[in-house]
Structure 1
Amino acid sequence: MTAEAPRTVLIIEDSNVQSKIIRKQIQALTQFDTLIAHTMQEAEALLRDHGQQIFIAIIDLNLPDAPDGEAVDLCLAWKVPSIVLTASFNDEIRRRFIERRVVDYFFKGSIQDMDPMVASLERVFKNQFITVLVVDDSRTQRAQIKKLLEVQRFRVLEAGDGVEALAVFEQNPHTRLVITDYQMPNMDGIELVRELRGRHKMDRVAIIGVSSVGSGPLTAQFLKNGSNDFLTKPFEVEEFYWRVNHNMDVLDMICDLKSCMETLETR
């Protein structure tokens, strides 16, 4: 499955030194291919010629021919997820990142500073094969969470309450993450967590509880009944991304550990 997926990273950076640092780190830590563009015009040409092979772009926010982040808009128009590099940061820049729905943003730096960015690349690549179930009786809330998950390239299913969620999960047993609200008709979030945990262990399916009620006793109820994590609405976009991706990283590490143990047992 992963062999057929696009594996090329488009690096859009006007600095030769910086682009080489990024390419070197990607080549050292991953098996992704890379293409480099030094201007927005070069990036557009590469997207036309190699767009089917590109799964993500790393973009300098300020280019000579795109000083205001226009290269980000270009990549998003091509439906290429984007990670932004910036030499400065403030609330206005952050707001622009969130509005443009970029995958992540990082400061420019040395080769050591590139490690978190490369980890983000790998996470986004894996996410496109992961199904997430969003459970909320509010269509608006479901749509908002779905959009955030799709920025991170997840496949998203929806359900309006716990009963429907169990049915959807039954039809999609490969689902690896459930994000559920608390207050819902027919079956609330805690009851849903309890039902899911009776069927699937924490190393198989991650569950994140979400509620606007509060994060005190309700958090404890979610966690004690088998939820992996809890978020209080409204939450910051970066916190949501971090918690979702962190839970996926943990599942991946457990899977890798199990594979190692099985290999050792067969020797």
Structure 2
Amino acid sequence: MQQNVLIIENGEGNLELIAKLVRRAGLTPVGATSLTEGKVRFSQNIPESFLCAIVAYSLPDAPQGQAIDFTANAFIPTIATTETLDSGIRDKVLERDVVDYVPKENSQNYDYLSRLITRLEKNKSTGVIVVSTNRILRTRTIALLQRHNFMAFECLTATDAMHTLSEHNHIRLVITDNTLPDMTGTQFVASLRKAFSKEQLAIMGVAGGQGMLMSAHFIKSGANDFLRLPYCHEEFLCRVMQNVEYIESVEEIRRVANTDYLTGLPNRRHFFYMVTVQHQFLSEHHALALIDLDFFKSINDTHGHDAGDIVLKAMAALIEFYFPDEIISRFGGEEFCIYLPNTPIEEACQRLEDFRKVVESEVIQLPSTDIKVTCSIGVSGAVTQRVDNLLSLADKQLYAAKNNGRNQVMCEQPDSSPLEQVSLL
């Protein structure tokens, strides 16, 4: 479903500026310059299509925040905007069920608004755990997180929180009180750090009336951040956003570092890491395959490098589709690698032969023509605890497949000598 953002702003200039931010976030602005027009624009769309609303506190026909009341009562997450940072208006805005409010007094506030819009979509798949026996603290914190579309979990004990973490892999932040029934908050933080690094899970400590000492204890125990009670609405949300965005930034850096830029497959380095981690626990039945496109240079020479890129992307898509549970990689150039754990060599070779036939029959559409390609595959199922040895043996089989006429699978049996191999044609 198309994601809309309802914008009700006082003036065409403000409306267009915010609409640009919404478009930049990949969302569709639905704009109005009065509450009356906003109600009409809202009624013309499916209510569930609105991700959020950005609404001015003061409008010509709604000078006291009535437009905010309208969108909040329509159950649309609402971001309020004000012309200036006025404490009286701020208090009136925050009395309502709003996500946040943004004063439009400088460009940095618009940058914050842009981040906020993007976060409301991302937060739908981001989990946060609140751990506390204080019902009021828990309820208030959960309510604020849900306003921001976070998937919020509440736990009374550290044990409950650890169990929740084990069940949900999308949790990025834990907010914990210091007084827990089964251990102190700092002990809980220290135990979390044994399982999760600061780059994997953010932790915020919360406590009141204990001055600077408690914050130091939390940080030294491994927390990323600390919040004193009673906390300010805006400070809480800003700190939550910063901590979640830090985790996401590290994840994105890792993803880029481990991904081939052209095909989107894992790269060679990540392949070795994944196989090495899983290889320690595998049985002796496994296989590793090297796949090489035949006569790839002639594709580049005849049709151009852009065409070669299209072929590589098509090959990567086929590998992803036919080997969804295996460890796959683009090794570089026109060479790909597949590791098949817990797979007898006979089964692996048959699957790869079936795949070779799929590649042979696939029609790849280029801008100017359609072409077909073939591939040669070398497979080894040798019993070894060294991934580099397995790779070297598969490479020998690939070399044999190339020398034997290409477009075939050459398999080395686990108990064979280097000269004993099986060709699947």
Counterpart residue identity of residue 123, structure 1: R
**Does 1:171 pair with 2:167?**
yes
Match of 1:120 among 112, 116, 123: 116
SS of equivalent to 1:128: helix
Distance 1:185 1:111 in 2: 46
Distance 2:161 2:108 in 1: 43
Contact 1:21/1:110 (<8 A) preserved: no
Q: C-alpha displacement at 1:178, in angstroms?
A: 0.7
Instruction: Tell me the residue number matched to 2:31.
Output: 36
Counterpart residue identity of residue 116, structure 1: Y
Per-residue CA deviation, residues 99-138 of structure 1 (Å, 9 max, x unaligned), is 1132222233577752221111112221122111110012
**Does 1:223 pair with 2:191?**
no
Counterpart residue identity of residue 34, structure 1: P
Distance 1:113 1:232 in 2: 24
**Does 1:48 pair with 2:22?**
no
Distance 1:243 1:112 in 2: 16
Measured on the aligned residues, the alpha-carbon RMSD in Å equals: 1.9
Per-residue CA deviation, residues 221-253 of structure 1 (Å, 9 max, x unaligned), is 211222111111111111111110110111111
Per-residue CA deviation, residues 51-93 of structure 1 (Å, 9 max, x unaligned), is 2211111111111211111110111111111111211332221
Instruction: Tell me the residue number matched to 1:79.
Output: 75
Where do 1:2-41 residues align within 5 Å?
7-27=3-23, 29-41=24-36
Contact 2:158/2:188 (<8 A) preserved: yes
Contact 2:57/2:93 (<8 A) preserved: no
Instruction: Tell me the residue number matched to 2:183.
Output: 187
Instruction: Tell me the residue number matched to 1:63.
Output: 59
Distance 1:216 1:111 in 2: 33
Contact 1:194/1:225 (<8 A) preserved: yes
**Does 1:160 pair with 2:156?**
yes
Where do 1:107-146 residues align within 5 Å?
107-108=103-104, 114-146=110-142
Distance 2:137 2:190 in 1: 22
Instruction: Tell me the residue number matched to 2:399.
Output: none
SS of equivalent to 2:154: strand
Structure 2 residue runs of 5 or longer lacking an equivalent are 261-266, 269-331, 333-425
TM-score (norm 2): 0.58
Contact 1:22/1:111 (<8 A) preserved: no
Contact 1:182/1:188 (<8 A) preserved: yes
Per-residue CA deviation, residues 151-203 of structure 1 (Å, 9 max, x unaligned), is 22211111112122222222333321110000121122112112211112211
Instruction: Tell me the residue number matched to 2:201.
Output: 205
Distance 2:134 2:171 in 1: 21
What is the aligned-residue identity percentage?
Answer: 30
Larger CA deviation: 47-56 vs 105-114: 105-114
Instruction: Tell me the residue number matched to 2:343.
Output: none
Q: C-alpha displacement at 1:213, in angstroms?
A: 4.1
Instruction: Tell me the residue number matched to 2:228.
Output: 232
Counterpart residue identity of residue 226, structure 2: F
Counterpart residue identity of residue 32, structure 1: L
**Does 1:247 pair with 2:243?**
yes
Structure 1 residue runs of 5 or longer lacking an equivalent are none
Instruction: Tell me the residue number matched to 2:85.
Output: 89
Q: Deviation above 4 Å: which 4+ runs of structure 1?
A: 109-113, 264-267
Counterpart residue identity of residue 26, structure 2: Q
TM-score (norm 1): 0.91
